[in-house]
Structure 1
Amino acid sequence: MTAVRQDVMKNAVALPSFEESVPLTITFAANWPVRKVLLRIVGTALILGSAGLWILPGSSVMPETALMKLGVSVFFFLVGLALLMVHHEHNQPDAYFDPIRREVRVLQKNARGRPQTVLRRGYDSLGSVKFSDCFMELYDMDGSVLMRLPIETPEIRHALRTQLNGLAHSAA
């Protein structure tokens, strides 16, 4: 009986322990940083312009134009606020790397602010992964880019390399 148990133990697949591989969550980077900066500048200008309509010297406070001025300033304020919040970091999805289930999940916050899974892929269904100094690119089986994620620290890069080692082809 002990010989059978030793045989089974030799052939058993070693599951990763939680101490060795910790689940990682990475937030996606904004796609176009220039567009993000431009929208923030325009949003700030619209918010300041909404207040400037009432502060500027020479603006008449006639009863006929006061209602129109109020409507324009509220419109400027709301549009400016919307432009500032378009690429806010809380609106970006998160990529969650789970070493126990051996899968990557993309989580997006729903209308109530709760994370909701929008993509789930097993490590064995990934084509390859490429690490650079600041980014990690996951490729699909056909060679197309599945996702590009920013890597902030060398510790995160090392943890991802150990998780994806052998499960997806790691290119440099």
Structure 2
Amino acid sequence: MTATDQIQTNTSGTAPARGLYAMAEALPLVLTFRPNWQLRSLVLRVLGAAMVLSSTGIWLMPGAAYDPEMALIKIGVSIFFLFAGIALMMINDPDSHPDAYFDPIRRELRVLQRSNKGRPRTVLRRGYDSLGSVRFKDRSVELFEIDGSLLIRLPINVGTTRQLLRDQLSGVVPILS
């Protein structure tokens, strides 16, 4: 899964004179997770809809007329197709992906997940000073606990996002090479 990197911008249109990296000190950095392939999401939804429709269409096919054993098999197959189709249609729901906020003012990482009603709910909140270390890789950033175990791995694509995040965490969290 890749991430679409979003940087929240200053709504007043006035940026400090120090440049882009000075904005990292004031604005939260947001990483939003999205499915890495839009066509895959579309194909899974179409396949799911076809399975849901075929769960009822199986009863319209001509075949062994009213054979009790065949009816039992048809019920099992149609229930399987119905639930599998619903699962395929809901598998890449964009509202189910969490957002990671790096807040430079509060100096904390927050991971938010939307509830069924669409309201964001905090599932993880960690201060920068409670993190053990951070490692920047080619397309991801890994945050580690103090004991060295992996806390979270976040995919990032844009080099400016990597640099802004590095600027936010430098001096607070040890950066591994």
Task: Tell me how many residue pairs correspond in the alignment.
Answer: 145
Compare CA radii of gyration and give the structure with the larger one: 1
| Alpha-carbon separation, structure 1, partners of 2:78 and 2:33 | 34
Alignment pair present for 1:136 and 2:136: no
- Unmatched 5+ stretches in structure 2: 1-20
Aligned to 2:82: 77
User: Helix, strand or coil: the match of 1:50?
Assistant: helix
Following the alignment from structure 1 to structure 2, what is the Cα–Cα distance between the partners of residues 163 and 130?
Answer: 14
Q: Which runs of 5+ in 1 are unaligned?
A: 1-17, 31-35
Deviation at 1:71?
9.1
Q: 1:163 aligns with which of 155, 159, 168?
A: 168
Structure 1 residue 84, shift from structure 2 partner: 3.4
- Percent identity (aligned): 48
Deviations 1:120-156 (A, max 9, x none): 1111111100001111000011101010000021111
Q: Which residues in structure 2 correspond to 1:1-172 (within 5 Å)?
A: 20-21=23-24, 22-28=27-33, 40=44, 44=48, 46-47=51-52, 49-50=54-55, 52-53=57-58, 58-59=62-63, 73=78, 76-172=81-177
- The alpha carbon displacement at 1:79 in A equals 3.2
What secondary structure does 1:112 align onto? coil
Return the letter of the residue paired with 2:96: N
TM-score by length of 2: 0.65
Task: Calculate the TM-score normalised by the size of structure 1.
Answer: 0.66
SS in 1 for 2:89: helix
Q: What SS is found at the alignment partner of 1:113?
A: coil
Question: Is contact 1:130-1:171 (8 Å) kept?
Answer: yes
CA-atom RMSD in angstroms: 3.6
